[in-house]
């Protein structure tokens, strides 16, 4: 495995933690475990959350504000939520340069993700027979990262 910058790993794992918080908030608020199904059935509105955690569903994803961070994600193949892309990471990091350093810049994120693709560390949506910009860590790398960050 190629070396992956620890600061980039921290950005991605923090972003994923906020996605899990957002989904948990929707599940608890609307008393429905399957967020996608709840949206399709009209249990969860397309926009809501008022002051506490404003959210808006879009296309194949959702955006929510939590504790001053904007987390915007797409539901991947099979409902996966562990994807990431430069633009969505930038939306998450750009207001927090003191926390994320160079990765608060879109160009740095684009470059880093391009490197991950070139290294073969991630799968693209095309690898799943789908469209979109999200990438996903390959299973062997994902398992290593989870072990390192637990």
Evaluate whether residue 22 is within a structural domain.
yes
**Bridge partners of residue 69, in order along the sequence:** 66
pLDDT given for residue 78 in this prediction: 83
Burial of 116 (0-12, 13-18, 19+ CB in 10 A): buried
DSSP symbol at 84: B
150 residues of the chain, pLDDT tens digit each: 457 888 999 999 999 999 999 999 999 999 999 999 999 999 999 999 867 899 999 988 999 999 999 999 999 888 889 889 999 999 999 999 999 999 999 999 999 999 988 888 888 777 777 777 787 777 666 666 665 555
What domain count does the chain have? Answer: 1
Reading the block at residue 2, the tokens are 């190629």
Say if residues 17 and 9 touch (Cβ distance below 8 Å).
Answer: no
Please report the pLDDT score of residue 144 as a whole number: 60
136 within some domain: yes
Q: Is residue 67 part of a domain?
A: yes
Whether 36 is in a domain gets the answer yes
Model confidence pTM above 0.85? yes
- DSSP 8-state secondary structure symbol assigned to residue 132: S
1 belongs to a structural domain: no
- 97 within a domain of the structure (yes/no): yes
State how far the Cα of 135 lies from the Cα of 119, in Å rounded to an integer.
Answer: 13
pLDDT value at position 3? Answer: 76
Position 128 scores a pLDDT of 75
Which among 3, 14, 1, 4 is positioned nearest to 100, based on CA atoms? Answer: 14
Give me the domain span that covers residue 31: 6-148
């Amino acid at each position: 495995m190629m070396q992956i910058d620890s600061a980039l790993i921290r950005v991605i794992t923090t972003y994923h933690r906020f996605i899990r918080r957002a989904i948990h908030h929707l599940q608890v608020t609307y008393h429905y475990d399957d967020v996608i199904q709840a949206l399709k059935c009209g249990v969860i509105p397309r926009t809501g959350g008022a002051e506490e955690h404003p959210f808006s569903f879009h296309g194949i994803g959702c955006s929510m504000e939590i504790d001053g961070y904007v987390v915007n994600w797409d539901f991947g193949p099979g409902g996966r939520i562990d994807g990431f892309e430069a633009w969505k990471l930038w939306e998450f990091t750009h207001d927090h340069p003191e926390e994320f350093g160079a990765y608060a810049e879109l160009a740095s994120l684009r470059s880093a993700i391009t490197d991950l693709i070139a290294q073969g560390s991630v799968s693209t949506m095309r690898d799943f027979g789908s469209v979109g910009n999200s990438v996903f860590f390959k299973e062997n790398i994902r398992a290593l990262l989870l072990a390192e960050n637990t």
